[in-house]
Amino acid sequence: MLNILHRVGATSTSPDAAFTALTTIDGLAGWWTRDTTGSADVDGVIAFRFPPGGFDMKVLELVPGKRVLWEVVDGPPEWIGTHVSFDLRQEGEYTIILFEHRGWAEEVEFMYHCSTKWASYLLSLKQLLETGEGAPSPDDVQISDWH
């Protein structure tokens, strides 16, 4: 099993504020994609849409201020059945976000792309938490021909 891992830290915020950005439709639309709909409660399904397509995430676990876990239930074949999680904690003046996208079957080139793209979106989340303004799709940073 192959995993994408990232770590960012944001100042002027809190694990509770980060949790809100990860567990409300408005919060998610502020850093990942503006086209976010669905139910962000446990057992709900959140639909994230981007110009080239999208992902449906089932919410498996929510621990307020601490952890969010999703399972990918629809999207590109490489993503289906994989898990995405965010672990939150405070470390001095930084709210630390540990990100995991677990369960890739193969090191396909799309995995390389998604790894870089996740980093870019997590920096958008950091920016949202620190300044109130993220860079969600379609206003995200274009990193290559695959957007």
Residues within the interface to a copy of itself (CB under 8 A): 2-10, 91-94, 96, 98-99, 107, 109, 111-113, 115-116, 119-120, 122-123, 126, 141, 143-146
CB of 84 to a copy of itself, least distance (A): 14
Rounded to a whole number of angstroms, the minimum distance from the CB of residue 57 to a copy of itself is 20
Name the β-bridge partners of 36.
48
Sign of CA dihedral 83, 52, 78, 125: negative
Question: Closest distance between a copy of itself and the C-beta of residue 12, in Å?
Answer: 13
Residue 138: cis peptide before it, omega within 30 degrees of 0? yes
Shortest separation between residue 63's beta carbon and a copy of itself, angstroms: 19
Task: Output the six-digit token pair for 48.
Answer: 């994230």
- Which tokens belong to 28? 């998610």
Closest CA to 122 of 102, 144, 101, 99: 99
Nearer to a copy of itself, 58 or 117 (CB): 117
Contact 124, 135 (CB under 8 A): yes
Closer CB to a copy of itself, 83 or 126, in the complex: 126
Cβ proximity to a copy of itself, 32 vs 99, nearer residue: 99
